Structure 1
């Protein structure tokens, strides 16, 4: 993308404005963006308040990766996705890069090693837009681990049209809501530590305390003890004590076991949503 929008790009944007909210919009948007930057996956999701996400459109040529996305990510792994977690807090509508919003130890987390890394996806850029029913619209574009990361020029070109892209996705999301007659009053957002707390109460004796569940949720997302302590307003030593108690109660000895144990909890809670 250049520093200005040329006539062909202006025509493409005008076309997208006309078809926002229609079934043809996602694939048309993918084709427009594809002429400007390469990506391996192109996803449009909706993160409703208090319910699992819905995949409104996914372009994933790799069959195995597509199956993983449908069964594993939508089945519960999304709860540890930095983009999903970022959508639960107040945010500015716009473009975000995975590495910029991920927790400080995300790339060393079990979620990354056991799920994300196995997808062979590397750099990821997303767009987040709040919608009027309390849900969040999300666009994701990922590259493979064998691909070069998004360049400064590509990201600069994408940010050049950021206001247009945000508005197009907002119009698309709102028109879908109107067409489906599905406007809902906003509800409290999904909270991962609540799911962990209730799962531990059912599956382990004794269960976790509320604070231990909060620490567990942050550890699973990829926060270090220091990062978790800053978020919770406690010392990193206190976080380490909580982690020790969590391992003891759940009869485990490593973060890998914690992930595998709570991965089941994510799927259980997702099935009940």
Structure 2
């Protein structure tokens, strides 16, 4: 596969197609085609993030049963641990980022990586975070799988150079539609991660678990919280015992299962309602 500069004629045609489709359903696939013309990729995915709401999948090239299952896990709640979603939720400036610029130091050792991201087969990913309206972000992701080469520095620069065009396209397509005020249930999805386990743990234990779920290493957690690595390990041990889990994998599954029962979630620690319903079953 050649990763040279794109054909300018083809790129111009793709851009014209995207402009022509603005404000209509064909715009999303036209934008995906434009991205693919800029830089060759094995997968182009678009996700709409709205603060306090579950993400909306706009476009995805992945196919097959395993891809569908993996996507379902992501939309069920694993997205809360996605470095690109975390960047949006934490107020990182809009722009074009490589995954390693946003991911925690121990991301590849996290259960989110093992149980979700590794199954995508992605070897490298570059994503745009574009904000057409307040509390709204369109994530445009380009990824290459293990059989492909990683994105080069030149390709990253090409995407950075084209960002103003993409920003304008996204703003013109999505900004005119008012962002609906989310209902009370969905406004609390982000707080579900922040409050996970707090009814059962000390504040410090809950902070340690949240950072573990996001993919931070013991050293990174210690630096962020201003405590020693040994204290981090002690908090983790006590937390696992209180939640009756013995590994990060079990913790990840408990987190996803608790979020999966959010249909009756009304705020607070999502684990409380989940365990109450599980005990009554």
Q: Same fold (TM over 0.5)?
A: yes
2:209–2:236 contact (8 Å) kept in structure 1: yes
50-59 or 98-107, larger mean C-alpha shift:
50-59
- CA shift for structure 1 position 77: 1.4
Structure 1 runs not aligned, ≥5 long: 202-206
Map 1:17-166 → 2, pairs under 5 A? 17-60=19-62, 62-166=63-167
Q: For 1:221, which of 197, 214, 218 is the aligned residue? A: 214
Map 1:205-216 → 2, pairs under 5 A? 207-216=200-209
1:94–1:163 contact (8 Å) kept in structure 2: no
Aligned to 2:191: 191
When the two structures are superposed, what TM-score results if normalisation uses the length of structure 2? 0.81
For each residue in 1:129-148, what CA deviation from the matched residue of structure 2 results, as whole angstroms up to 9, or x when unmatched? 23424122211122112221
2:133–2:171 contact (8 Å) kept in structure 1: no
Looking at structure 1, the residues matched to 126 and 258 of structure 2 have their Cα atoms a distance apart, in angstroms, of 28
3-state SS of 2:255 partner: helix
2:18–2:34 contact (8 Å) kept in structure 1: no
Looking at structure 2, the residues matched to 86 and 96 of structure 1 have their Cα atoms a distance apart, in angstroms, of 10
Looking at structure 1, the residues matched to 112 and 136 of structure 2 have their Cα atoms a distance apart, in angstroms, of 24
- When residues 131 and 195 of structure 1 are mapped into structure 2, their CA distance, relative to the original with a 3 A threshold, is farther
2:19–2:169 contact (8 Å) kept in structure 1: yes
- CA shift for structure 1 position 15: 4.1
Say if 2:231 is the partner of 1:238. yes
Say if 2:253 is the partner of 1:260. yes
- When residues 147 and 9 of structure 1 are mapped into structure 2, their CA distance, relative to the original with a 3 A threshold, is closer
CA RMSD of aligned residues (A): 2.8
The number of residue pairs the alignment matches comes to: 261
- When residues 189 and 235 of structure 1 are mapped into structure 2, their CA distance, relative to the original with a 3 A threshold, is farther
Looking at structure 1, the residues matched to 22 and 225 of structure 2 have their Cα atoms a distance apart, in angstroms, of 41
- When residues 271 and 221 of structure 1 are mapped into structure 2, their CA distance, relative to the original with a 3 A threshold, is farther
Looking at structure 1, the residues matched to 188 and 20 of structure 2 have their Cα atoms a distance apart, in angstroms, of 34
257-266 or 117-126, larger mean C-alpha shift:
257-266
- CA shift for structure 1 position 3: 8.1
1:197–1:210 contact (8 Å) kept in structure 2: no
When the two structures are superposed, what TM-score results if normalisation uses the length of structure 1? 0.83
109-118 or 260-269, larger mean C-alpha shift:
260-269
